[in-house]
Structure 1
């Protein structure tokens, strides 16, 4: 129990950031570089924060009790999925860096809107968000973030093995060839985008009570880069990569806190070294180490030379 009291907040943060890295993994399954997850994360957090603090929802809170928290998760997922369809259908016609720029613009638009609305608290944000299920300590959020992580991993594993997962991989490898054999790239890319959006919305709705406050700083361009770093450093081609990258990069500054300002320098060096020497991420490098080295073939002896007099 003392261990959880000391490191519980850090463990929950690692799970939270790993899940946000996974929200980028689903679009990457279809080869789409989307940086929109912070926008959906902020949207889910605002939905939860408003429902848990606004007097307009006081009757709901009294009638539902603790069930108000799962309701905010569901509503955040539905709202994020709906907005994901609205944004994804036109945006996913773009590719590569152009898609990344379009999704960054989407995040910036949501941030500006949240800064200028009274219901979101403007620049100040929303405070005094009640703790989920009456939790008294932050480490208790392990009991909601850990099951969500397990469910997302199981879902992603089944998705990869399904017909939809094979279609997403085909689009990622060669979109033109996938379209030629009857796979609709737009349909499957929007589906992957919506799954990532819904996941980010749920994580946002869970994080608002965990952080006890919510404001426009939750969904920014810096967060987009951080989520992308989780995925690339952990490994964008592996399900475990974003989870590992999110856990590592979110815990590294805390583990190096004793080094004062040098911890930020070391954190930056880790990013640079991993980008240069681990192009397939940490999980990709570990998988290479696990592969057995193929045995070397013995050299083939040259045929014996024929005597000069017997040559044809």
Structure 2
């Protein structure tokens, strides 16, 4: 077991992290919103943790709280991401489809440029020497990301079966009909956007100590597309889709590392094949296979008048 964790521990942590980021995009998709803002909130959460754990201004607080400082960074990152998600979501979610996607990409780029030009974020160099959370190293972060993934899945499971989940589905299927039935599209779309923002921010706050460094490369357009691929390949209609897609697309390039540059070609082929032949994602395809086949229609019975005595 120790040999496995020493070899694949880092990859395992990255797979769970990718699943969580995929779920942060899954929340707005539940309400029919194609938002690509998750890397922006992920970067914000990471910068929040990096600054609070390294900046001399917080030295006294770090000394007094000890390991509790790490928990505080998660809470602060969640609050900041939620507030920014609310501020961005209210005007941005008036847009739909590709226009919303473009607006959220612009949001990610704005945050990246701001981070590049602020002294507190370390500019283009970033922030280095971030202390490890609770003294954990490498695969030990499974003890943080793993329980968080379980909690998020349990929360999502309960939410999908609640009034909120039904409202999300109604808006996704037909926003005008949902509005006519008394479901407020604006309210629920903003709620879904904020939930995704909070999750991405917390993941970023945990990831900063894990990576030991944080810079503007963490929140880019490329990251937006990668997270979107997690959801689309895994399946956007089930909470298990982002988990499967994130784990698979994170593992494939690493497992095929011995193929050098060819591993990127194979990774691209996986994306193309899945897009063409699995339009509902891997989880959607598996759910189709599990559905019972419809019963064969019995032969037409003769009409009563045709039945001879």
Q: Shorter-chain TM-score: what band?
A: over 0.9
| Distance (Å, rounded) in 2 between the aligned partners of 1:172 and 1:282 | 21
Q: Which residue of structure 1 lines up, in the alignment, with residue 9 of structure 2?
A: 8
| Distance (Å, rounded) in 1 between the aligned partners of 2:293 and 2:180 | 37
Question: What TM-score, normalized to structure 2?
Answer: 0.96
Q: Give the C-alpha shift of residue 301 in structure 1.
A: 7.1
Q: Does 1:300 align with 2:304?
A: no
| Distance (Å, rounded) in 2 between the aligned partners of 1:251 and 1:215 | 24
Q: Which residue of structure 2 lines up, in the alignment, with residue 100 of structure 1?
A: 101
Q: Which residue of structure 2 lines up, in the alignment, with residue 47 of structure 1?
A: 48
Q: Which residue of structure 2 lines up, in the alignment, with residue 60 of structure 1?
A: 61
Q: Does 1:228 align with 2:228?
A: yes
Q: Which residue of structure 2 lines up, in the alignment, with residue 209 of structure 1?
A: 209
Q: What whole-Å deviation, never above 9, does each CA across 1:7-34 have from its counterpart, x for those lacking one?
A: 1100000000110000000001100000
Q: What whole-Å deviation, never above 9, does each CA across 1:14-70 have from its counterpart, x for those lacking one?
A: 000110000000001100000000000000000000011111111111000000001
Q: Does 1:141 align with 2:149?
A: no
Question: Secondary structure of the equivalent of 1:34?
Answer: coil
Q: Give the C-alpha shift of residue 299 in structure 1.
A: 3.5
| Distance (Å, rounded) in 2 between the aligned partners of 1:132 and 1:301 | 72
Q: Give the C-alpha shift of residue 300 in structure 1.
A: 3.3
Q: What whole-Å deviation, never above 9, does each CA across 1:232-251 have from its counterpart, x for those lacking one?
A: 00000000001110000011
Q: Which residue of structure 1 lines up, in the alignment, with residue 77 of structure 2?
A: 76
Q: Which residue of structure 2 lines up, in the alignment, with residue 241 of structure 1?
A: 241
Q: Which residue of structure 2 lines up, in the alignment, with residue 284 of structure 1?
A: 284
| Distance (Å, rounded) in 2 between the aligned partners of 1:160 and 1:101 | 27
Q: Which residue of structure 2 lines up, in the alignment, with residue 260 of structure 1?
A: 260
| Distance (Å, rounded) in 1 between the aligned partners of 2:178 and 2:122 | 46
| Distance (Å, rounded) in 1 between the aligned partners of 2:139 and 2:123 | 29
Q: What whole-Å deviation, never above 9, does each CA across 1:188-235 have from its counterpart, x for those lacking one?
A: 000000000000000000000000000000000000000000000000
Q: Bigger shift: 45-54 or 292-301? A: 292-301
| Distance (Å, rounded) in 2 between the aligned partners of 1:3 and 1:274 | 29
Q: Give the C-alpha shift of residue 302 in structure 1.
A: 7.5
Q: Which residue of structure 2 lines up, in the alignment, with residue 154 of structure 1?
A: 154
Q: Does 1:21 align with 2:43?
A: no
Q: What whole-Å deviation, never above 9, does each CA across 1:246-274 have from its counterpart, x for those lacking one?
A: 00001110010111111000000000000
Question: Secondary structure of the equivalent of 1:118?
Answer: coil
Misfit runs of 4+, over 2 Å: 297-303
| Distance (Å, rounded) in 1 between the aligned partners of 2:173 and 2:291 | 23
Q: Give the C-alpha shift of residue 295 in structure 1.
A: 2.6
Q: Give the C-alpha shift of residue 297 in structure 1.
A: 2.5
Q: Give the C-alpha shift of residue 89 in structure 1.
A: 0.2
| Distance (Å, rounded) in 2 between the aligned partners of 1:194 and 1:70 | 20
Question: Secondary structure of the equivalent of 2:118?
Answer: coil
Bigger radius of gyration among the two: 1
| Distance (Å, rounded) in 2 between the aligned partners of 1:266 and 1:302 | 59
Question: What TM-score, normalized to structure 1?
Answer: 0.95
Q: Does 1:193 align with 2:193?
A: yes
Question: Secondary structure of the equivalent of 2:66?
Answer: helix
Count of aligned pairs between the two proteins: 303
